[in-house]
Structure 1
Amino acid sequence: MLQAPQRTGLSGPTLIRLLTRLTDAEVLESRQSLSDHLSHWLGWTDAIALSAALNNRPPVIAPGSRPFGSAEERECVRVRATLADAIASDTAATPAKKHQDRSQAPVKKALAEADADYSNFRQRYLSLQHTMETSIGNLRSRLRGMVAARNGEMTRLAVVDAIMDRALLPKERALLGAIPKLLQGHFERLRLAEAAAMANANAEAETPAEAKAQPEPASEGDLTPLPVQTAAPITPGAWLDVFRNDMRSVLLAELDVRLQPVEGLLAALRAS
C-alpha cells in the first residue's frame, strides 16, 4: 500500500504535525509567544473590549440559567461523538466499500472516477467544517451562559471567552479553510506515485524472461539458484484509500482543535 511521505514534524497539536507530514511545505517552529501572535490577530476594538473585561468589575448576571450537571457532560460527549461519526461515515473520509457483485462493476468504475476528482473531496471537507463550526459554536455558547451565571470571576471568564470567540473566528476560518488546499497536493502526489509504480510494474512484466538477470548460486558447491525477488503486486486505486484515511485523520485532529474552548469552559464549570 502507498504510504504518505515521511517528514520531520513539528511539536504541537496533532493537526499541525499531521499537516507537516502530509504536505511539502517547509514550516519552521515559531519563536513568537502566544501573546505576540494574539497582538497581531486582535483588532483595536477587540483589544479595548478585552482590556475592559480584564480590568473592570465583571457584570452581575441575573440567575435563571440551568445549573451545570451530568446532562451537559453527556451533551458534550454526544456532540463530539456525532461529529466524529459524521467524519467517519462520509465517503470522502473512509475507505470505499468493496462490492462483490460483478454486475456493479460499471457503478464502481464511475465512483472511482468521481473520487479521482479532488473537487469532490474539497467540497466534502468544507461541508464537514461547516457542520463542526455550527455544532461546536452552539455548544460553546450554551456552556458560556452557564459560566456567566456563576457570577464573579466566572462571569469575567465568560465575557473574555465571548470576546475571543468573536475576534478570532475570522482568523480561525481563514487558517482552517486553507487545509483543503494543502491536502490537494497530498492527493496529487499519491496519485502520481501509484501511476509511476504501476508503470514500472508493467514495464517489468513486459521484459522477456531471458533478459532478466539470474541470481548466482549461494556457493560453488551449491548449484541451486536463489529465488527471484518480485515486487508486491499493486492494487489499482489503493492510493485513494490512503488519501481517505489521511483526510479522516486530519478532520479528527481538526475536531480536537475546535473543541479546545469547549473543554476549557467544561473545566471551569467542573472546578466551580
Structure 2
Amino acid sequence: MSSVSRPVPVAGPVFLRQLARVAGPGADAGPEAPLAATLAQWIDWPRAVALAGALDGRPADAGQAPAPDPGIADECARTQARLREAILADPLLAVPGPSPVDAEPGFAPFRARHQAHQRAMLAATGRLRGRLRDLVAAAPSLVRLAEVDAALEQALAPREHALLGQLPDLVAEHFARLRAQHVPGGPGAWLDRFRLDLRDLLLAELDLRFSPVHALLAALATDQPPP
C-alpha cells in the first residue's frame, strides 16, 4: 500500500477565499454569476461546437487498451506534494522572514517567485492530465469522458491561464496596500503577513490546478473492477 497521501480536491472555495483576502476591500463584491452565464463568457462558438460534439456525438473507438499504469495515482500525489513543499520551503515566503532595516523591500522578487511557482504548476498538471486522459480514453466506458475533458481544456484553458496570469498584479496591489499601512521603521509584521497571504494563495492555486487531475483519477478508480 502506498504511503503517499492523496488530498481531497476541495480547491475552489479555498482558492476563492484566499483570492478575496488578497483582493482587499476594493474588490468587486457583487453577486456571483450563474455557472451557465460564466461558461458562456469563457467559451467562444468554435470551441462550444467542439464541446457539444464531445457531449452528443458517438464515442470514438477506444482501440487496443494500453498496459495499466498502477503507479499514476502515486505519481500525481508525489508531484502535488513536491510542488506544495517547494512553496512551503521557499525562503522568500518564510514566516517569520528577515526584516530589512535600511530600505523598503520591493515587490519584484515576489513577482518572479510567484510566476516561477505558477509555471511549475502548469507544466506538471498539463503533463499529468494528458497522461490520465490517455488512460481514460483507453477504457471503453470512459471514452466519452476523455473527449469531454479534452474539449473542456481546449475551451477553458486560455481563459483560465489569462485569469491566473493576472494574480501577480493583484498580489502587487496587496503588497502596496500593506506597505502603505505599516508603521514606519517596522516592516517585519506587514511583510510576514504578506508572505503568509502569498504562500496561502499559491497553495490554494496549486489545489485548484490539480482539480482536473483528481477528477480523472477518480474516474479511473471508479472504472476499476472490484478485487
Fold shared by both chains (TM-score > 0.5): yes
Q: Partners in 1 of 2:201 and 2:219 — Cα distance? A: 28
- Indicate how the Cα distance of structure 1 residues 42 and 97 shifts in structure 2: closer, same or farther if over 3 A, else same: closer
Give the structure 2 partner of residue 90 of structure 1: 90
1:29 to 31, 35, 57: 31
2:173 to 170, 185, 191: 185
Residue 66 of structure 2 corresponds to residue 40 of structure 1: no
1:198-213 alignment runs, 5 A limit: none
Give the structure 1 partner of residue 204 of structure 2: 253
Residue 49 of structure 2 corresponds to residue 61 of structure 1: no
Segments of 5+ residues of structure 2 without an aligned counterpart are 1-11
- Equivalent residues of 2:48, 2:155 under 8 A apart: no
Q: Tell me the number of residue pairs that the alignment of Structure 1 and Structure 2 aligns.
A: 210
Write out per-residue CA displacement over residues 116-141 of structure 1, whole angstroms, 9 at most, x where no aligned residue. Answer: 11011111111111110000110011
Residue 215 of structure 2 corresponds to residue 264 of structure 1: yes
Residue 109 of structure 2 corresponds to residue 120 of structure 1: yes
SS state of the match for residue 155, structure 2? helix
Residue 137 of structure 2 corresponds to residue 148 of structure 1: yes
Q: Partners in 1 of 2:144 and 2:161 — Cα distance? A: 26
Name the structure, 1 or 2, with higher relative contact order (CA <8 Å, separation 6+).
2
SS state of the match for residue 92, structure 1? helix
Question: Letter of the aligned partner of 1:73 in structure 2?
Answer: A
Give the structure 1 partner of residue 20 of structure 2: 20
In terms of Rg, which structure is larger? 1
**1:21 Cα offset (Å):** 2.1
- Equivalent residues of 1:20, 1:27 under 8 A apart: no
- Equivalent residues of 1:68, 1:269 under 8 A apart: no
Q: Partners in 1 of 2:91 and 2:154 — Cα distance? A: 33
1:94-105 alignment runs, 5 A limit: 94-95=94-95
CA RMSD of aligned residues (A): 2.1
**1:184 Cα offset (Å):** 1.4
Question: Letter of the aligned partner of 2:48 in structure 1?
Answer: A
Give the structure 1 partner of residue 193 of structure 2: 242
Segments of 5+ residues of structure 1 without an aligned counterpart are 1-11, 99-107, 199-234
Give the structure 2 partner of residue 76 of structure 1: 76
- Indicate how the Cα distance of structure 1 residues 42 and 195 shifts in structure 2: closer, same or farther if over 3 A, else same: same
Question: Letter of the aligned partner of 1:163 in structure 2?
Answer: A
Give the structure 2 partner of residue 167 of structure 1: 155
- Indicate how the Cα distance of structure 1 residues 36 and 68 shifts in structure 2: closer, same or farther if over 3 A, else same: farther
Question: Letter of the aligned partner of 2:221 in structure 1?
Answer: R
**1:236 Cα offset (Å):** 4.4
- Equivalent residues of 1:66, 1:146 under 8 A apart: no
The TM-score with structure 2 as length reference comes to 0.84
Q: Partners in 1 of 2:204 and 2:20 — Cα distance? A: 13
Q: Partners in 2 of 1:58 and 1:181 — Cα distance? A: 42
Q: Partners in 2 of 1:193 and 1:41 — Cα distance? A: 37
**1:109 Cα offset (Å):** 5.1
SS state of the match for residue 265, structure 1? helix
Question: Letter of the aligned partner of 2:164 in structure 1?
Answer: L
SS state of the match for residue 13, structure 1? helix
Q: Partners in 2 of 1:97 and 1:118 — Cα distance? A: 15
Identical counterparts, % of pairs: 40
